[in-house]
Chain A
Amino acid sequence: MRKDGTFIAVEVADETAADAALATKLTEACPVDIFATADGGKLEIVEKNLDECVLCRLCMDAVGGRGPDLVKILKLYDDGAVLV
Chain B
Amino acid sequence: MQVPILKQGDVLIATIQAALSDADLLELRSALVQQVVRFRSAGVIVDVTAMDVMDSFASRTLLEISHMIRLRGADTVIVGIQPEVAFAMVQLGLTLEDIPTALDLEEGLAYLQHRSRTIN
Whether A and B are associated in the same complex: the answer reads: no
B→A interface (CB under 8 Å):
none
A→B interface (CB under 8 Å):
none
